[in-house]
Each structure stands twice: as structure tokens, then as C-alpha cells.
A and B are shown apart, each in its own frame.
Chain A
């Protein structure tokens, strides 16, 4: 059998070998043609990525070692001075702290509420489709609309929440002008904005858990809560992992709601890292320092994501 096969393939070898030799003789790299094709295919996306991603990245890294003029032109090379100044500045460290508080609170709340809403919407109740639409509704709401909506709710004199506190004979809360409350307010608004997408993804994940797993558990006598923690939870763990990474990165990058609701105030309480970068670069013209902050932010996000991967990766593969 093998001999037969060899016989069949011999002619092919005989044809292929002289060709190779010939090509090598005239100094032509056989792979060159392939390489040209490869670059032709990669070219367009490579070009676009270079202009809009790679160049800005490298330029940011470059600028982070310089002082700049207000136009963003580097003037004095300062080495790691920008980094040292930032990491010893109390306002920057405060911003870092606020950001991490915000990010952790937003990610946690989004995850938990998203799962709870999806779980609730998975029940077979009359009119559940209406709620499914409502729950995923924030996906279609723009940041500016959401900001106005929440500004009305948080308004200390006519807002909905004020009416509630008045009704309960509680003191008026200046939601957006008291540091602690302002942070809470932006966290609530961001979670609300995130929920539509998170709900939809979790809802899909819950639907894809095979029904007979629950039936088997039901017959075996597992309680509903046992079923949730020992079937639902592990079954949707890949989705939880995915959503937690997306939300984490997204909340590090939060900008729109902060800008429209508190503009980083009061007293820098909600001046998150991205918002501070925007202020330093585009309002104060400190491109050097802003670049440094961007680099630090990128490093922090990478570290968090890496940590998540290390922590959760093992638990979600089955």
C-alpha cells in the first residue's frame, strides 16, 4: 500500500524539485510571492490601524516624557518627571482612588443587577415580553438623554428623589453637589446605562442553559437556590467573565455621564482619570502630563484585565 502511494507521488516530487532549484538559482525567494499577497490582504487594515491606533499610542508614550506648549508640541524632555510628579500629587492619587471605587462599584452592581433582571425576565409570566423590552431599553438611550433624565431625578428641588425624601420626612440631599452623594449619583446613572446591554447578554446566556439540567436537578430534589448557584451560575460563568471584563474596561473609560452631570465636581470627587486627562489636555493644554496619565491608565487597565483573566479563567472553562 505504502509503496503504491510512493509510486503515485514520485512524479509530483520530480516536478517540484527542479522548480525549486531553478527559482533558487535565479535568486528568487519562493516565499516572496506569498509575502506580497499577505501584505496586500493586511494592508488596508494595517494602514488604518497605524494612522488611528499605533501612531497615537506611540505618540502618547513619546509625549509622556516631555513638557509641551499649548498646541501639543513637545518643548522640554523631562524623562520620568511627569510620572514622578503625578504619582506624588495628592489630587492625582485622589482621582485614582475615586476611579477605582467607581469602577469596582459600577462593575459589581452591573453584574449583579444584570443577572437578577435576566433571571426575573426568564420566568414565564404574562406580559414578560414587555419587561424584556424595557429592561434592554437603555441600549437605545444616548448618554446626553440619560444625563438629562438623571439630572431631573437628582434635582434637589424638583427631582423625583427629592420628592421621595420629602415624603419620608428625610432631609433634602444635594445629590450632585455633595462629594459622597455625587459619586453615588454617577455610579447609579452609569449602572443604569450599562444594564440594557448586560441584561440582554445575560438573558441570552440564561436561555441557552439546557432546560433538562434543571429538570434533572428538580427530580433529584435540589432547591431553587441550589439550582441557581450550582447550575445557572457555573453554566453562565463564561458570560459573567466576559461581561465583567467589558464593564470594567468600559467604566475605566467613563466620560460622557461625568462630563454632563458633574463635570468632575464637586471638589474633584467625581474627577475620574479619563475626565482628568481630558481636562489637562484639552482645557489646560498640559499634553505632556495628560499623555503620562493616559499611559498610566492603560497600564492599570491592563493589570486589572490580566488579574481578572488569572483569577477567573480557570473557573469558567468546562
Chain B
């Protein structure tokens, strides 16, 4: 089942907007992640889709029928909550069958569906236990089983993994993804964790400051972020943003210092710009004569090092280096201009995309279109 959001907005006092102008179409069987920092309105959006809170303006359509004014139970969807919403006084079986029983379904049918759902999430062995006798991961799976048993083709998930420890989270990520594929669910998944969104979703909607920042596949979002917010939100360690100021009318390169200048795809008017560089794009050369930076801190992460560097002009940058065991604190180094970088205007909008921009100067939009 497809879901279409048409100019959806939310306000509680007709004055300040929680969400504004949300437009997107979620395709049948798609894993759609809504991601953003806390307080960006992502849970509010999910609750509006679920029908738990009213939509202030705009229209929500499921399979091309408006459901804006329908109660949650008539929208033919199911939801998994952050705190699982399990009934503590019911055993696993009864928890999974709760909705079916409430809808007065045939007892034999309920048993069959519950058994199937429990088998799918591998919980048949503990079906007689109460939620308090289960581990966090098992409780999470009970919530999943309940969603499966309801047989709705749309499933909404509100930060379902945030109460689990890191290891279990990784395991559940692939389990959820696998279930979604197997059952052909249209899944809307809310999370604040960019890694979750990147690894699980077919497409991602990035929300910030009441508005959609970008919608696209994980690769598009990572490679062609629409603005500096999206660029810095995705990827660990965070992307570096260097401020560059141009006084000339026509600039064909942005200069940070003599060793570090970034060619622009086309002439830029005077003004402030931001250059976005992923920590992995930098290269460090231990060269005293032309050195333009000092190492301030080194973090060892196992597979790589994060080197915290201060440029001579005072800007601080993070550099991810694979093998830099020879580097030491306070060492003078040369930070060279990387090949891949992004340019944002003073408001943070992307001007050029990372790959191949030096050659033909496509704007982000064009780049995304060609990528598709």
C-alpha cells in the first residue's frame, strides 16, 4: 500500500508550526526512514500518519484514498512503539492477540495468526510468559509479532530499537529489515540514529526545523546532501565545515590558506561560503617545511584514527586516517586539498556536489537526477 503526504502541517496553537509543508510519496513495500535530531517533529509526523493526533492542514492518502479524517483503526496500519506498549498483565500470546480479540475475531483464527506471528519472530517457546519475564530484545520481538499478527500492510515504527543495547540493536536491525522484505510491508521507520536510517532504509526523509531537508536514498543523501545540515548529520565522524570568505566578484577557487584552496565548478559571486569535507577525504603529510596545521588530539578507534587538527588560521578539523601511528601530538603537518568536497552558500544550501564537480560543475539537483 502506498502512502502520500500532501502538504501536511501541524500546529497546536495556530501560531507556531511543529511541522510545515511535508510532501512525499511512500511506495508500496518501501522501507522509508524519517530521521532528524530530537525535537524535529519526526514522531509527531508518524503519529499524524497513524491518526493518533489530528493533522492540522494538508491531506494524507493511503492507496489514493484520503484518510485524513479517519480514526487510526480504519487506516489499516499497525504501529510498534518505542516502549513496546506491551500489556504487563497479559502473557506473550495474549499480547500478540490483543487487537484481534478486541476486533472480535474468531478464536481459532486468532490462535492460528498468533502462532504464525510468534513463529516468525522465534518466540514460540516463551508464549506463556509475562512481559516482565522477557529480555529487552524479546519484548521488542513481541511488539513486532503483534504488528505482524494484525496483518496490516503498513507498519509504523517509532524508534523501536532505542531501548536496546548496541549489539542487540545491530541484530534487530537486520531482523526487522528481513521481516519487512519477507512480508512485503510498507514500513515507516522513525529514528534519530543516522546509521539505522542509512543501513535499513530504501529511502530517507531528513527532517529539521519543522521542514523536510531532503528525501532520497541513503547513497544520494550521503553523496549529494541538499544542505550543510544533511551533510553533517550523516556520516561518522561528522563532516568538517570550513568557512571561506570571498571578496572578489568572480571567484574560481575558495582559499583557506596557501596550501588549502578549493577550485569551484563555476565562478562564485562574493560572499560567505562553507566547504564541506568528509574526514575520510583528507590526506595528511608530515612535512615540516610547508606545514599548515598542528595535531591537537588523536583518537584510536580500532579500524581508524580520528586526528583532531587545528589549522594555522584557527579552524578545527577532524581527519579520519587509516594508518597514522607515526603521528604524535603537537606535530606540525601539512593538510592537503582533498579531491572530494562540497560547497554550501552562506545559508547552508549546497552549490556543488562532491563527485566530479570540478569537471562539469553540476548543481546538486542535476547530480542527483543523473545519479537516478
- Chain A residues near B (Cβ < 8 Å): 210, 212-213, 215-223, 226, 230-231, 234-235, 237, 318
Measured in the bound complex, the distance between the Cα atoms of B87 and A234 in whole Å is 9
Q: Which one of A216, A220, A226, A318 contacts B88 once the chains associate, using CB atoms below 8 Å? A: A318
Is B305 an interface position by the 8 A CB rule? no
Is B89 an interface position by the 8 A CB rule? yes
Quick check: B87 and A220 within 8 Å, CB to CB?
no
Is B83 an interface position by the 8 A CB rule? yes
Q: How far is the CB of B14 from chain A (nearest CB, A)?
A: 16
Q: How far is the CB of A216 from chain B (nearest CB, A)?
A: 4
Quick check: B81 and A221 within 8 Å, CB to CB?
no
Q: A210-B83, A226-B102 are in contact. Are A220 and B89 (CB under 8 A)?
A: no
Chain B residue nearest in CB terms to A317? B89
Is B221 an interface position by the 8 A CB rule? no
Q: How far is the CB of A238 from chain B (nearest CB, A)?
A: 10
Measured in the bound complex, the distance between the Cα atoms of B103 and A226 in whole Å is 10
Q: Flag the segment in B18-26, B71-79, B184-192, B269-277 that touches A.
A: B71-79
9 residue pairs of the A-B complex, CB under 8 angstroms, read A212-B82, A216-B85, A219-B51, A219-B72, A219-B73, A220-B78, A222-B98, A234-B89, A235-B88
Quick check: A221 and B83 within 8 Å, CB to CB?
no
Quick check: A216 and B81 within 8 Å, CB to CB?
yes
> B87-128: which have CB < 8 Å to A?
87-89, 98-100, 102-103
Q: Total interface residues on B, using CB and 8 Å? A: 25
Q: A213-B87, A318-B89 are in contact. Are A218 and B102 (CB under 8 A)?
A: no
CB-defined contacts of A213 to chain B, threshold 8 Å:
85, 87
Quick check: A220 and B73 within 8 Å, CB to CB?
yes
CB-defined contacts of B79 to chain A, threshold 8 Å:
215-216, 219
Is B150 an interface position by the 8 A CB rule? yes
Minimum-distance CB pairs A-B, first 4 = A220-B99, A221-B73, A222-B102, A318-B89
CB-defined contacts of B98 to chain A, threshold 8 Å:
216-217, 220, 222, 230
Is B342 an interface position by the 8 A CB rule? no
Measured in the bound complex, the distance between the Cα atoms of B77 and A235 in whole Å is 26
Quick check: B99 and A221 within 8 Å, CB to CB?
yes
Quick check: B102 and A212 within 8 Å, CB to CB?
no
Is B130 an interface position by the 8 A CB rule? yes
Measured in the bound complex, the distance between the Cα atoms of B132 and A221 in whole Å is 25
Mask, B127-148, CB within 8 Å of A = 1, is 0001010000000000000100
CB-defined contacts of A217 to chain B, threshold 8 Å:
98-99, 102
Measured in the bound complex, the distance between the Cα atoms of B173 and A119 in whole Å is 40
Measured in the bound complex, the distance between the Cα atoms of B90 and A237 in whole Å is 13
Q: How many A-B residue pairs have CB under 8 A?
A: 69
Quick check: A218 and B73 within 8 Å, CB to CB?
yes
> B144-193: which have CB < 8 Å to A?
146, 150
Q: How far is the CB of B46 from chain A (nearest CB, A)?
A: 11
Q: How far is the CB of B72 from chain A (nearest CB, A)?
A: 5
- Chain B residues near A (Cβ < 8 Å): 50-52, 71-73, 77-79, 81-83, 85, 87-89, 98-100, 102-103, 130, 132, 146, 150
CB-defined contacts of B88 to chain A, threshold 8 Å:
235, 318
CB-defined contacts of B150 to chain A, threshold 8 Å:
220
Quick check: A318 and B99 within 8 Å, CB to CB?
no
Quick check: A212 and B73 within 8 Å, CB to CB?
no
Q: How far is the CB of B81 from chain A (nearest CB, A)?
A: 5
Measured in the bound complex, the distance between the Cα atoms of B102 and A231 in whole Å is 11
Q: How far is the CB of A291 from chain B (nearest CB, A)?
A: 45
Chain A residue nearest in CB terms to B79? A219
Q: How far is the CB of B48 from chain A (nearest CB, A)?
A: 13
- Can you add 9 more A-B contacts, CB < 8 Å, to A215-B72, A216-B146, A220-B146? A215-B81, A217-B102, A218-B72, A220-B73, A220-B78, A221-B103, A222-B102, A231-B87, A235-B89
Quick check: B87 and A222 within 8 Å, CB to CB?
no
Quick check: A220 and B103 within 8 Å, CB to CB?
yes
- Most A C-beta atoms less than 10 A away, residue of B50, B99, B146: B99
CB-defined contacts of A219 to chain B, threshold 8 Å:
50-52, 72-73, 77-79, 99
Chain A residue nearest in CB terms to B82? A212
Q: How far is the CB of B76 from chain A (nearest CB, A)?
A: 10
CB-defined contacts of B87 to chain A, threshold 8 Å:
213, 231, 234
Quick check: B102 and A230 within 8 Å, CB to CB?
yes
Measured in the bound complex, the distance between the Cα atoms of B102 and A162 in whole Å is 47
Quick check: A222 and B99 within 8 Å, CB to CB?
yes
Q: How far is the CB of B158 from chain A (nearest CB, A)?
A: 9
CB-defined contacts of B83 to chain A, threshold 8 Å:
210, 212
Q: How far is the CB of B159 from chain A (nearest CB, A)?
A: 12
Quick check: B73 and A215 within 8 Å, CB to CB?
no
CB-defined contacts of A235 to chain B, threshold 8 Å:
88-89
CB-defined contacts of A223 to chain B, threshold 8 Å:
102
CB-defined contacts of B130 to chain A, threshold 8 Å:
318
Chain A residue nearest in CB terms to B99? A220
Measured in the bound complex, the distance between the Cα atoms of B103 and A222 in whole Å is 6
- Most A C-beta atoms less than 10 A away, residue of B71, B102, B132: B102
Measured in the bound complex, the distance between the Cα atoms of B156 and A212 in whole Å is 14
Q: How far is the CB of B136 from chain A (nearest CB, A)?
A: 16
CB-defined contacts of B78 to chain A, threshold 8 Å:
219-220
Q: How far is the CB of A236 from chain B (nearest CB, A)?
A: 11
Measured in the bound complex, the distance between the Cα atoms of B89 and A237 in whole Å is 10
Q: How far is the CB of A225 from chain B (nearest CB, A)?
A: 11
Chain B residue nearest in CB terms to A216? B85
Measured in the bound complex, the distance between the Cα atoms of B77 and A17 in whole Å is 71
Measured in the bound complex, the distance between the Cα atoms of B147 and A220 in whole Å is 9
